[in-house]
Structure 1
Amino acid sequence: MPASRKPLLGSSMTALLGAFALAAVHQYLFFDHDPGISFPLFIALLYVYLFHDWKDRLKETTGFGWFLFAVIVLLSLTYGLFHNPIFRALNLLAIPSLVFVHLAVLRGSKRVPWWDVGIVGEALAHLIPRSLLQIPRVFRVLRISLFRRLDSERQKTATKVAIGLVFATPLLFVVIPLLASADGAFNRLLNGVPGWISRFSLGELFGRLLWILVFGILFAIYFWSFAKPPRRRKTVSQADVTPPRKPGIDSVVLTTLLLAVNAVYLLFVAIQFTYLFGAWDGLLPDGTTYAEYARKGFGELVAVSAINFALLIVSLTFSGTKRGLLNALLYILVVCSGVMLISAYIRLAMYEEAYGYTYIRFLVHAFMIYLAFLLLIAALRIRTSLVPMAKCFIVLSLAAYTVVNYVGMDRLIAENNLSRFEETGRIDRYYLNKLSADAIPALVDFAMNREDAEMKKLLEANLGKLNRENRDWRSFNLSVYSANKALRTMNQL
């Protein structure tokens, strides 16, 4: 073998062995275990593997690269800190997706800017087609590494032996237990196997080995999809390049559209100001009750605000650079959208005061605050084109999603409902008992301070449910631990 191929083979073999080692850890952490503190631990090991050949180039990482890494780490830590079922499910999709995009940003062969929508296509290209092209490399590296010292004839023989063993392995998993059942002596011989192996059933052992094999190959081919250096492109003279024509919308058409929409919005806003700040004091439209006003039109207002935001983005993106009257119309659109958001926010707050706090209402509150910040960025973009709108939207969206994960939605819902009980005497104990473990300490304090027998009875059922959950360290969750501790303290009193 040429000397130049030895380092390449060595690095490929190191990557393959590392992939199977990572797969073995993945199997140990997640096979038959709920994700807990194991999730951030695996993310850390995954990044060590994916960047083990990039040690000298980490200084090339951009500010956004580090920001996205921080978001991924913080989201992975939520599996050890919180127990909200909605975010636990969403993050199983969000975290891998962000990892794929992060790798495309830092190591993608096409070097697509992180704010360009093309970065999603680059991430998918490395995830599927470029990874699949690396599958033969797995077997080529194994064949060369294992049989490189043999002559061609012996290599063929060794390859055939390996193929035979591959086919024999699943057959032996079936035959050996049958023979052990048929003959006591053979069974006693198998009982001499070390205890740590005998703990696994045949099906479980086969599942674990298959898990390691599949994920080991997946980790290796995904890593190799980045390891291959991109082809150098031929330099092209700037004079030979014709800049693509930016699509646009005729200013007359856009101005007419905004004039018509803003006329309706201004009339609506004028009517809203009549009731917007007087609803709390009972100043409501004729024939409308407090609860009806709080509920009626809320969803429509949020939907119209979202439509206005989309119209705003289209106008800023596809209009020309000279926008005198257009800018004024866009400012009016922003102000009207802001008033609609405030009206919807107040209506929702009133509705919660009347009917209580829930997951959906909390998330809609968060969405309206998020939309308000997006409108603020758009307003700044109207003022000056120096504001990088796409970059600001991406960073704000990632930051907002991370913050919502960390505010403790279940705990806040429980605390707000308990505060509402102090003022109104109304409470839905059965709904509160359905909240995740994040809310249990607050509910235990309420039950103990109020001597609420019904709440105590509902909470006691949670103790049995928490005890039935996997208590292995890999599934450790701080919220579950705190909830369990609070419930045990309540039972001891």
Structure 2
Amino acid sequence: MTTDARFRPARASLSWLACKAGLALAAAGLADWLFFNSHAVGISLPLFLAACAGLLVAANPVRVPARLQLLYGLALVLALAALVENVSWLSLLVAGATLLYLVRLIAGNREPWPAGLARSLGLPFVGPLRLARDISRAFRLASRRRRASVSAASLAAWIVPVFLSLVFLGLFDAANPLIHDWLRALDPARIPALISVPRVAFWLAALCLVWPLVHMRRARRRAAPVQSAPPEDLPEVSALLGPPAVMRSLVLFNALFAIQSGLDAAYLWGGLALPDGLTYAAYAHRGAYALIVTALLAAAFVLAAMRPGGPAEASRRLRPLVLVFVAQNVALVASSILRTALYVEAYGLTQLRLAAFIWMGLVGLGLLLIVVQIIGRKSNAWLLDANAIALAATLYLCCFANFPYIVARYNLAHWQERDGMGPVLDVGYLASLGPDALPAYAGIAAATGPHPLPGWQRGLLQREQRAAAHMLDQADWRSWTLRNWRLKRVLDAHPLDEAPAGTAPAAAN
């Protein structure tokens, strides 16, 4: 073996580390430019995540076919579109989880998606350990042949590239005014002012965050598990959830649920008069959330009782009772939705109540999927996948929904339908919804809409409108989002006077 062949691993290890470190430092520098100067996060976040995706592909081998590469790229574009619309914790969760999960898919990992997603979400936290381990390994390999890796020949190989690069840079400095200005801005005296403890900590955090993308590890292949017959239920489990126990449970449960459904059908759907002292709003509010918990417990019972391969799953007498029970739970969810709708009609809509509507819809869809599973004799894995798809699609669509605007618009519309009469409009709650709700009330805040508010209430909304306008005027391009762009157009269409009347009480708050 030649001397050069013996020294090649040491040189390769340092070259590998230098290449990876250069890419990671470039990503950290981009993060510094986009985020460190305390700019509000906006278009800068999807730009950075897109750069991280490009870094992932450039620094690692892609182990998937071209067709899947296009599919993964489309999934990432759709996820980043949620951040372009609006930066929120939900859109960040959707885009970040999509990017991290694609990391494992591109690396060739083919584990079941629940385990793969869990491991992917842990990637941002393993960066420091991986970075320290990779640096230690590279220098450990290099230390074995330190003399060869720092030989005079290797240092001499840098003389010509560095010298000619400086010559070309000097020529470009003389020929291009932009390059001249950039070089003048690189004042060495400014370097100490740019270096600070927070900035160094930010760069270290950014390096640890992007390092798992720079050095993507492929999961080791494990031996395929030996296929064995599914274990039989223990005697205790068979006694608790066997055909006799399930039959008795379904008979009792169906009877109890029939009573509850009958009362709701009479009072909520049929309009039967309630007892004295009990309003429809109180009746509706009292059981809306409790009935959803009941439906979830019932669904858990059905899954446990009718588990594939269980003793009750093949019983022909139990299947009709199970389907009736699930149907009653679907009716229970519909009753919960109606209860919440009646309460909203009486007391107004809030973001929590709107989220409850979405959650109830998901619970109802999950119950319908259980029916499909039972009729089609599908596995629990199919049910898990179907519910996961429904949840992911719902969360993605929610990234584009402006919930504060929906809440404010609903409350204002109902207030205006009553010609300003009826339940008092909670102007304080409208103002607390933030700038996203402003398009709903910009007209009445500027006294251009029907049914003008009293002076102090309009002044409170005008204060929120002025704060939003100031925020948008002072915002950097990094803070741009589609939602803020639409908000700016609304504010331009509903300008406020310089000294609106009735702002004194609002200022006192």
Q: Given the two structures, how large is their TM-score scaled by the length of structure 1? A: 0.76
Bigger drift between 40-49 and 201-210 goes to 201-210
Matched AA of 1:260 = L
Q: Partners in 2 of 1:486 and 1:196 — Cα distance?
A: 44
1:118 match: 115
Matched AA of 1:342 = A
Deviation digits for residues 369-412 of structure 1 (CA, Å, limit 9, x no counterpart): 12111111111111112472111111111001111222221121
2:134 to 121, 134, 137: 137
1:421 to 392, 408, 415: 415
User: CA distance change for structure 1 residues 125 and 42 in 2, over 3 Å: closer, same or farther?
Assistant: closer
Bigger drift between 423-432 and 336-345 goes to 423-432
Post-superposition offset of 1:99: 3.6
Q: Report the 3-state secondary structure (helix = DSSP H, G, I; strand = E; otherwise coil) of the residue aligned with 1:317.
A: coil
1:325 match: 317
User: CA distance change for structure 1 residues 377 and 213 in 2, over 3 Å: closer, same or farther?
Assistant: same
Bigger drift between 93-102 and 373-382 goes to 93-102
Q: Partners in 1 of 2:121 and 2:482 — Cα distance?
A: 35
2:479 match: 475
Task: Check if 1:304 corresponds to 2:294.
Answer: yes
Deviation digits for residues 45-76 of structure 1 (CA, Å, limit 9, x no counterpart): 11111232345635363898568635632433
2:49 match: 43
Bigger drift between 258-267 and 38-47 goes to 258-267
Post-superposition offset of 1:25: 1.0
User: CA distance change for structure 1 residues 323 and 28 in 2, over 3 Å: closer, same or farther?
Assistant: farther
Q: Partners in 1 of 2:71 and 2:390 — Cα distance?
A: 12
Q: Partners in 1 of 2:50 and 2:306 — Cα distance?
A: 40
Aligned-CA RMSD value: 3.8
1:15 to 13, 17, 20: 20
User: CA distance change for structure 1 residues 308 and 359 in 2, over 3 Å: closer, same or farther?
Assistant: same
Matched AA of 2:268 = L
Q: Report the 3-state secondary structure (helix = DSSP H, G, I; strand = E; otherwise coil) of the residue aligned with 2:494.
A: helix
User: CA distance change for structure 1 residues 152 and 7 in 2, over 3 Å: closer, same or farther?
Assistant: closer
2:328 match: 336
Q: Report the 3-state secondary structure (helix = DSSP H, G, I; strand = E; otherwise coil) of the residue aligned with 2:349.
A: coil
1:174 match: none
1:404 to 387, 398, 405: 398
Q: Is the 8 Å Cα contact of residues 132 and 221 (structure 1) preserved in structure 2? A: no
Q: Report the 3-state secondary structure (helix = DSSP H, G, I; strand = E; otherwise coil) of the residue aligned with 2:331.
A: helix
1:211 match: 202
Q: Is the 8 Å Cα contact of residues 351 and 407 (structure 2) preserved in structure 1? A: yes
Post-superposition offset of 1:144: 7.5
User: CA distance change for structure 1 residues 108 and 347 in 2, over 3 Å: closer, same or farther?
Assistant: same
Q: Partners in 2 of 1:148 and 1:471 — Cα distance?
A: 54
Q: Is the 8 Å Cα contact of residues 302 and 368 (structure 1) preserved in structure 2? A: yes
Post-superposition offset of 1:352: 0.8
2:84 to 77, 101, 105: 77
1:245 to 231, 234, 242: 231
Post-superposition offset of 1:329: 2.3
1:104 match: 104
Q: Report the 3-state secondary structure (helix = DSSP H, G, I; strand = E; otherwise coil) of the residue aligned with 1:324.
A: coil
User: CA distance change for structure 1 residues 312 and 62 in 2, over 3 Å: closer, same or farther?
Assistant: farther
Post-superposition offset of 1:35: 1.5
Q: Partners in 2 of 1:94 and 1:400 — Cα distance?
A: 11
2:433 match: 435
Q: Partners in 2 of 1:124 and 1:482 — Cα distance?
A: 33
Task: Check if 1:445 corresponds to 2:450.
Answer: no
The equivalences for 1:14-33 within 5 A come to 14-31=19-36, 32-33=38-39
Q: Is the 8 Å Cα contact of residues 53 and 99 (structure 2) preserved in structure 1? A: no
Matched AA of 2:257 = Y
Deviation digits for residues 286-340 of structure 1 (CA, Å, limit 9, x no counterpart): 5422322232222211221222222233334353541322322221221111111
Post-superposition offset of 1:124: 6.0
User: CA distance change for structure 1 residues 488 and 196 in 2, over 3 Å: closer, same or farther?
Assistant: farther
Q: Is the 8 Å Cα contact of residues 444 and 456 (structure 1) preserved in structure 2? A: no
User: CA distance change for structure 1 residues 313 and 104 in 2, over 3 Å: closer, same or farther?
Assistant: farther
Task: Check if 1:383 corresponds to 2:390.
Answer: no
Q: Partners in 2 of 1:71 and 1:481 — Cα distance?
A: 20
2:495 match: 491
Matched AA of 2:79 = I
Matched AA of 1:436 = G
Q: Is the 8 Å Cα contact of residues 259 and 329 (structure 1) preserved in structure 2? A: yes
Bigger drift between 265-274 and 5-14 goes to 5-14
Q: Given the two structures, how large is their TM-score scaled by the length of structure 2? A: 0.74
Q: Is the 8 Å Cα contact of residues 94 and 396 (structure 2) preserved in structure 1? A: no
Q: Report the 3-state secondary structure (helix = DSSP H, G, I; strand = E; otherwise coil) of the residue aligned with 1:57.
A: coil
1:61 to 54, 59, 68: 68
User: CA distance change for structure 1 residues 431 and 241 in 2, over 3 Å: closer, same or farther?
Assistant: closer
Matched AA of 2:432 = K
Q: Partners in 1 of 2:334 and 2:449 — Cα distance?
A: 37
User: CA distance change for structure 1 residues 288 and 11 in 2, over 3 Å: closer, same or farther?
Assistant: same
Q: Partners in 2 of 1:462 and 1:263 — Cα distance?
A: 54
Task: Check if 1:277 corresponds to 2:283.
Answer: no
Q: Report the 3-state secondary structure (helix = DSSP H, G, I; strand = E; otherwise coil) of the residue aligned with 2:425.
A: coil
Q: Is the 8 Å Cα contact of residues 427 and 457 (structure 2) preserved in structure 1? A: yes
Bigger drift between 432-441 and 253-262 goes to 253-262
User: CA distance change for structure 1 residues 50 and 317 in 2, over 3 Å: closer, same or farther?
Assistant: farther
Bigger drift between 452-461 and 43-52 goes to 452-461
User: CA distance change for structure 1 residues 22 and 134 in 2, over 3 Å: closer, same or farther?
Assistant: closer
Matched AA of 1:393 = N
Report the number of matched residues. 441
User: CA distance change for structure 1 residues 402 and 198 in 2, over 3 Å: closer, same or farther?
Assistant: farther
Deviation digits for residues 454-486 of structure 1 (CA, Å, limit 9, x no counterpart): 454223212443325751111123333433443
User: CA distance change for structure 1 residues 419 and 42 in 2, over 3 Å: closer, same or farther?
Assistant: same
| Greater relative contact order, per chain length (Cα 8 Å cut-off, separation 6+) | 1
Post-superposition offset of 1:235: 7.2
Q: Report the 3-state secondary structure (helix = DSSP H, G, I; strand = E; otherwise coil) of the residue aligned with 2:39.
A: coil
Q: Partners in 1 of 2:219 and 2:286 — Cα distance?
A: 57
Q: Report the 3-state secondary structure (helix = DSSP H, G, I; strand = E; otherwise coil) of the residue aligned with 1:314.
A: helix
Post-superposition offset of 1:419: 1.3
Q: Is the 8 Å Cα contact of residues 285 and 340 (structure 2) preserved in structure 1? A: yes
2:361 match: 369
Q: Which runs of 5+ in 2 are unaligned?
A: 156-182, 498-509
Q: Which runs of 5+ in 1 are unaligned?
A: 81-87, 159-191
1:182 match: none
Matched AA of 1:356 = G
Q: Is the 8 Å Cα contact of residues 138 and 217 (structure 1) preserved in structure 2? A: no
Post-superposition offset of 1:36: 0.7
2:165 match: none
